[in-house]
Amino acid sequence: MVKLFEKGSIGKMKLKNRIVMGPMGTTGEADGGYNRNAIHYFAERAKGGTGLIITGANIVSTKYEDRPCTELSNFHHVDRLAMLVERCHHYEAKVCVQITPGLGRMVFTDPFTPPYSASECKSFWFPDLKCSPLSVEDIHYLVDKIGFGASLAKAAGADAVELHAYGGYLLDQFHSKQWNTRTDEYGGDLRGRMRFTLEAIESIRKYCGGDFPLLVKFTACHGVPGGRELEEGVEMAKILEEAGTDAIHVDVGCYEAWYKAISTVYNKPAHQIQAVKAVKETVSVPVLGQGKLSEPELAEQVLEEGTAYFVVLGHQMLADPYWASKVKEGRFYDIVPCIGCNECLYAGFSGKHYYCAVNPLCYAEKDYMLPEKNKDKKKVLVIGGGPGGMEAAITAAQRGYDVTLFEKTSRLGGNLWAAGLPTFKHDVLKLIDYMENKIHRLGVDVKYRKDSSAKEIIKGNYDKVVIAAGSTSLMPPIPGIEFAVPSTDILTGKKPAGKKVVVVGGGLVGCETAAYVKEAADEVTIIEMLDDILVTANHSRNNDQALRDMLAERQVNIITSAKVKKITANSVIYEAAGKESFISCNTVIIAAGYKPNDSLADELDGKVKSLSVVGDAEAPRKILTAVHEAYHAIRVME
């Protein structure tokens, strides 16, 4: 890993390596300043060896919209930002503060007030709201505030600022013909549409001086009909370089195709790389590239081939703050993988701080630290080797306990195998590899093909018993259900699917199963009772978009508001809109949900010293709930 750990520079800013933590939103105090959790969160990534940390967007004024995350508009925001910068500097990481004039049509916090934008257009999150165009005076006000906000970042000790001009947010709305229909000096041709951004660059130079490093993150192509094409993106990069930008951070996508901007489990590695390469071949300033580059060998290759000058990692840094140091030490096996679930994003857009499904300490680095190892060698029994069970075993071993894990099958992983075996979800398999490896390195006593009886467990006199037995597929009482197979049997390869397939259930599992079997089947149909698919998925919009687009591309048929009445050996009979119909098929797959494996819980209740039921054994939910519940069940042990 030679290139990753070469020194680099952006303007006069010297960097110890080519690894960058990308900008991601963080919560702040009521006044918009950074809070203590955010400071610890960034410091942990600096401690982990990252060369450059780019903060999430700091809005420079709330005159036109609510702050989305943090704010940098007045003197009183400086002190906590200074604390953040100082703590990162202790680990020789540099800090670049991202600043924004706002989100425009992408405002997601206020469903009642029409946002401002470049022109009149629909709000993305609240389509009933029409945006009002910013006046020329408004633009001038924001331009000045951008320069002032940058000066506050500089006063706080930041090493650079990055102008937030991408992703369909306010500045990018001005850049794009699909949202900017102005006829004044801030519309028209490309330079007119970029005028707001170019004046913002001038304002930053005015307030901060010509030597203060300035990055601009922009969208090279939107990837949607009517959006920016790469040819125009390359021209924009040239203009940004001419304007005196010290580095260009390349982005792809917009919220209409959000998964092209923020990676999901469904994206292929390096999915933005062609845009990055096109910009890198056009400009002479350093180019930052992103887009699912978290495999160390791939990140190194991108630098070796000269596709980018810096590699930017986003959600991978949430999953493992120590990615850089682990790569440097050759400990690839110990990297906690990002599984592309975007629970982090889902939490942020729900008004919470970022959570990470596979890292319970994300944004709680101090609050959720494990206590020091106990001198008492407590005995812990974990029942079940899925994500919850593995996390409980790992955490208990890290606390110094004597840990035994009972797994009824011949391998660890539980339902992660069904989740990760589809060709487009192999990121999940990396989590199994990581957790299984960790379990064995920590010396957990794993007993495979081990069924658990309450009598044996009680006799073991354990200090703590964690039931993480997972869940099994629910088979609804439909006449002819014996002709159907559960989705887990298909996903894990226990049973093959035929050429004409019907999937009963259009939730997350049903849709993923349908997309997967369509790779070999001639015809696949989803039948869903509700009026749309993925209604119960409770996942981030970008994951939803990616999966829907995959189903459309693979030509999966979808029937909604329909109830299956009967299954036969070669057909499914269903009712929709008061009319009974049938589909001929040779495989019927049931994806109607899961039921918890919780029988032991009642038998052990009150009969062991301490009992916790976690993950799907409590109620079928997500990887996040399994991992977090298991971690905290052990963390709070006394």
Let me know: does 272 contact 251? Beta carbons within 8 Å. yes
Strand ranges, E, within 395-534 = 402-407, 445-448, 464-467, 471-473, 485-486, 500-504, 523-527
Kindly report the number of other CB atoms within 10 A of residue 313's CB atom: 23
Model pTM score: 0.95
Contact 353, 26 (CB under 8 A): yes
What average pLDDT does the chain have?
96
Helix (H) or strand (E) holding 276: helix 273-280
In 3D space, the residue among 513, 485, 356 whose CA is nearest the CA of residue 421 turns out to be 513
pLDDT attached to residue 376: 81
Catalytic-role residue among 169, 255, 462, 516: 169
Average pLDDT estimate for 6-15? 98
pLDDT at 377: 85
CATH topology of domain 481-592: FAD/NAD(P)-binding domain (3.50.50)
The answer to whether the beta carbons of residues 406 and 382 sit under 8 Å apart is yes
Distance between CA 405 and CA 621 in Å, rounded? Answer: 22
Question: Are the CB atoms for 487 and 513 separated by under 8 Å?
Answer: yes
Nearest-Å Rg of the Cα atoms of the chain is 26
Specify the pLDDT at position 462. Answer: 97
Residue spans of the domains in the chain: they are 3-348, 379-472+595-635, 481-592
Rounded CA gap, 357 and 359, in Å?
Answer: 6
Confidence band of 447 (pLDDT split at 50, 70, 90) = very high
Beta strands 13-15 and 8-10 are antiparallel
State pLDDT tens for residues 207-263. Answer: 999 999 999 999 999 999 999 999 999 999 999 999 999 999 999 999 999 999 999
Chain mean position to CA 268:
14
Quick: pLDDT tens for 577-621.
999 999 999 999 999 999 999 999 999 999 999 999 999 999 999
462-508, pLDDT tens digit by residue? 999 999 999 999 999 999 999 999 999 999 999 999 999 999 999 99
Q: Can 355 be counted among the known catalytic residues? A: no
What is the CATH class of 379-472+595-635?
alpha beta
Strand pairing report for 471-473 and 594-596: antiparallel
Residue 529's CB is within 10 A of a number of other CB atoms, namely 16
CA distances in angstroms from 242 to 210, 216, 247, 583, listed in the order given: 14, 12, 11, 61
Round to whole Å and give the CA distance between 180 and 194.
10
Cross-strand partners of 467? 383, 613
Distance CA 57, CA 34 (A): 12
Spatial CB neighbours of 103, under 8 Å, sequence gap ≥ 6: 65, 68, 115, 169, 170
Q: What is the CATH code for 3-348?
A: 3.20.20.70
